[in-house]
A and B are shown apart, each in its own frame.
Chain A
């Protein structure tokens, strides 16, 4: 029983949030912050797999998020909502409630295939070169979508709210809250299982000494391919959820700044620490929302013009500043490369999160 307490707590937590959202007992704003937290957890843990566990330097994570967001959005809208491209939905909108998780997974698969293209140069290059390649990939993806007028180009794409609405019409539940929760837990659980297996530890071996790994029987190219595809696929899942939470996507929201956010979370949490990546994502979400809140407070001052939005301006001063301070005083991040259970071995009695 004790060993299942994490599972029980998670189920209780998920149930509670869902219930509160259902009863509209908590503010919609807080609900959306919680959902962005989930998306951020998926982003940071999945990037941590490549940048932390494998020790590569991928800088274009938002590119994969973009692929996932667009594929699940376009797919969902074409299938379950009237749209500009095909006019009528391909399937009965009532079906959306069953197909939604598959739409998200389809976005993840598309992103994973894109990740495959980035995995190939990683066979030969590491470090700076790979960083440049992934940044380039990020730009290529965004520019490609900006030039696809059929899905809205740089104006963006919408209609996802209608899909969510038709899900709610069938059965009124806070579907997005539920699915974000499920996919977030699923991601962490998947990554935990992968990295704790002997197979997945090959990724750490590559990070520490790639030559030794290859010579000691690790198929390094295969491991890199799997790891890149898993990481980018999960970013695609995050993108799909993000698109359906907001109900609108545009290529600009997946630019290099978004990739940087994911990297900041990884470095904040500690390279290679899964629990660190989760903690960092939670803190990061609270911080960015806190800035927004500070902005609201500032506007109570009479001399602050209404049109000024400090949080957006200062966000990219404060976040890099945090990074600099972190690198100065705790370069290994909040958790270093340890997990919560390494810091508190007593915790192990309480869970079997594998």
Chain B
């Protein structure tokens, strides 16, 4: 019944009763969420809980077996990922997925594909619209890199950057698409504690300075507790708790999901 209602006009991301099955495995079960403007929402859960699958469903990489997703009030059903991106979503990946044979600058440039106002013929004929658009993209990309203090690496290949900066670059690439919703999949994974703290600070800073909602997957409970106003905990695809950090901290289901194995 809930499924037939119109999406809420203020929510940036609304998911209703989404389920995803891979063969017999239910990776995500009856997942619902409502993300308002400028909200920083945490999604946590043990390994294999289905967090990345939720991101893959939002970005249109999988079509949910059941349920509906709305981005800025628009349903994403049947849309290919690049079309979903055009609705105002950008994401990073748990394992960094930069284009490693392309310069840092080109990584940002190619991410503007959805915003190009020219096509094949204009590119080949080098028309005015082509030149204007390329000039704009280059300018904006350089500005963004400077803004995030990556400009000195503009012509480097991403693989030549320290790991922490690769993580940062992936976030910058996502931001370059001017999304309303940013999905960050364990942005601090694989970083040493110093870099991880730096990166978490970056996320916080982006949240405070950009007009953007963020859905954050993060392994470290304390980080999520500190950053997020709302948290959702999933385990084996099931939502086991949601609420503000205080509620989550004291929720017995969460404690047993996270500490369960150790306490037995």
Chain A contact residues, CB within 8 Å of chain B: 190, 193-194, 197-202, 204-205, 207-209, 211-221, 226, 230, 337, 354
Question: CB of B137 within 8 A of chain A?
Answer: yes
A220 to B137, CA, bound (A): 20
- Whether A216 pairs with B113 at a CB distance below 8 angstroms is yes
Specify which of B82, B98, B119 lies most central, judged by the most chain A CB atoms within 10 Å of its CB.
Answer: B82
A230 to B119, CA, bound (A): 14
Instruction: Tell me which of A200, A201, A215, A354 contacts B59 (CB under 8 A).
Output: A215
A194 to B118, CA, bound (A): 12
A230 to B116, CA, bound (A): 20
- Whether A217 pairs with B177 at a CB distance below 8 angstroms is yes
Instruction: Tell me which of B61, B106, B112, B119 contacts A211 (CB under 8 A).
Output: B61
Instruction: Tell me which of A190, A199, A213, A216 contacts B119 (CB under 8 A).
Output: A199
Chain A hits for B109, CB < 8 A: 198, 201
Instruction: Tell me which of A194, A198, A209, A220 contacts B124 (CB under 8 A).
Output: A194
- Whether A194 pairs with B120 at a CB distance below 8 angstroms is yes
Q: Which of B39-47, B85-93, B186-194 contacts A (4 or more CB under 8 A)?
A: B85-93
How far apart are A215's CB and chain B's nearest CB, in angstroms? 5
Chain A hits for B91, CB < 8 A: 215
A199 to B106, CA, bound (A): 11
Q: Given contacts A208-B102, A217-B86, is CB(A199)–CB(B113) below 8 Å?
A: yes
- Whether A204 pairs with B120 at a CB distance below 8 angstroms is no
B 123-134 binary contact with A (CB < 8 Å = 1; else 0): 110100010011
Question: CB of B114 within 8 A of chain A?
Answer: yes
Chain B hits for A208, CB < 8 A: 99-102
Chain B contact residues, CB within 8 Å of chain A: 59-61, 80-82, 85-86, 90-91, 93, 97-102, 106, 109-116, 118-120, 123-124, 126, 130, 133-134, 137, 173-174, 177
Specify which of A211, A215, A226 lies most central, judged by the most chain B CB atoms within 10 Å of its CB.
Answer: A215
Q: Which residue of B lies closest to A202 (CB)?
A: B113
- 26 A-B pairs whose Cβ atoms sit less than 8 Å apart in the complex: A193-B124, A194-B120, A197-B130, A198-B109, A199-B113, A199-B119, A200-B123, A204-B102, A205-B110, A208-B101, A211-B97, A212-B99, A213-B99, A213-B110, A215-B59, A216-B111, A216-B113, A216-B174, A217-B85, A217-B111, A218-B114, A219-B80, A220-B82, A221-B80, A226-B120, A354-B126
How far apart are A105's CB and chain B's nearest CB, in angstroms? 14
A226 to B120, CA, bound (A): 8
A194 to B126, CA, bound (A): 10
Chain B hits for A213, CB < 8 A: 99, 110
Q: Which residue of A lies closest to B174 (CB)?
A: A216
How far apart are B248's CB and chain A's nearest CB, in angstroms? 29
A219 to B60, CA, bound (A): 13
A18 to B118, CA, bound (A): 37
Q: Which residue of A lies closest to B125 (CB)?
A: A193
Q: Which 7 A-B pairs have the closest CB atoms?
A: A217-B114, A197-B123, A212-B97, A208-B99, A218-B113, A217-B85, A216-B111
Interface of A, helix, strand, loop or mixed by DSSP: helix
Q: Which residue of A lies closest to B176 (CB)?
A: A216
A217 to B84, CA, bound (A): 8
Q: Given contacts A204-B101, A212-B97, is CB(A217)–CB(B123) below 8 Å?
A: no
- Whether A214 pairs with B120 at a CB distance below 8 angstroms is no
Given contacts A205-B102, A212-B98, A216-B110, 19 further A-B contacts (CB under 8 A): A190-B124, A194-B124, A198-B109, A198-B113, A198-B134, A199-B118, A201-B102, A202-B113, A205-B99, A208-B101, A209-B98, A212-B97, A215-B61, A216-B111, A216-B174, A217-B86, A217-B115, A221-B80, A337-B101
A327 to B70, CA, bound (A): 50
A205 to B173, CA, bound (A): 13
Q: Which residue of A lies closest to B173 (CB)?
A: A216
Chain B hits for A211, CB < 8 A: 61, 97
A207 to B98, CA, bound (A): 12
- Whether A198 pairs with B97 at a CB distance below 8 angstroms is no
